[in-house]
Structures are given as C-alpha cells and as structure tokens.
Amino acid sequence: MRHRHKRRLDNTVSMPHRYYEMGVDMDTVKLSPKYQIVVPKRIREKMSLHPGEMFEIIGFEERIELIPIRPMSSVRGFLKDLDPSFKRDERDRV
C-alpha cells in the first residue's frame, strides 16, 4: 500500500516512516517554546502513560526516541509461558 506525504500549513512535508507501514502508532507533534512536546492521547492511553513518569531519551541520527522507565515489578511473569527445555548439541559446548 502506498502512503501519501502529508502537506502541512508551513509548507513542510511529513514523510511516512517504515514504522507507519509496520502498524506502529505515529503522529505529528509541535515543540513548544520551552522545548516541550505533548504525547498524543491515543499513544498515552495505549501505553498507559501517566503524568510524572520518567523516560529515557535517545537521539539517534535524525530521530528522537522516548522509552518509558518501568519498575522491574511490571515485568514479573512475562516469561511464564516460556518452555525452558531445549536440546543442546555438541557444537554448543565449549
């Protein structure tokens, strides 16, 4: 499926990123004079974000990524259905 570029009022172009094609939520936000952004409601709700939460911020090439810092207790049990048994062959041994 081909996506069109969004033409904005300030005559810049927002080009769709590969994440958009993968079904990842993507939106356009504006940087305030105090260098703040607002996370869109749809993403806040989907990721259960709340005021005051901490994030790691990563600047990589021409993009910025925000990663919520979650307590370790929030990942408890996420591997419960994992089958820990596996066969090792002789090539795996040192």
Residue 14 β-bridge partners: 6
Domains with residue ranges and CATH for the chain: 30-72 (2.10.260)
What pLDDT score does 3 carry? 45
Q: pLDDT tens for residues 22-74? A: 667 778 899 999 999 999 999 899 888 999 999 999 998 888 989 998 888 87
pLDDT over 80 (residue 19): no
| Terminal-to-terminal C-alpha distance of the chain | 48
pTM to 2 decimal places: 0.54
| DSSP-derived 3-state class of residue 5 | coil
Structure confidence at residue 27 (pLDDT): 82
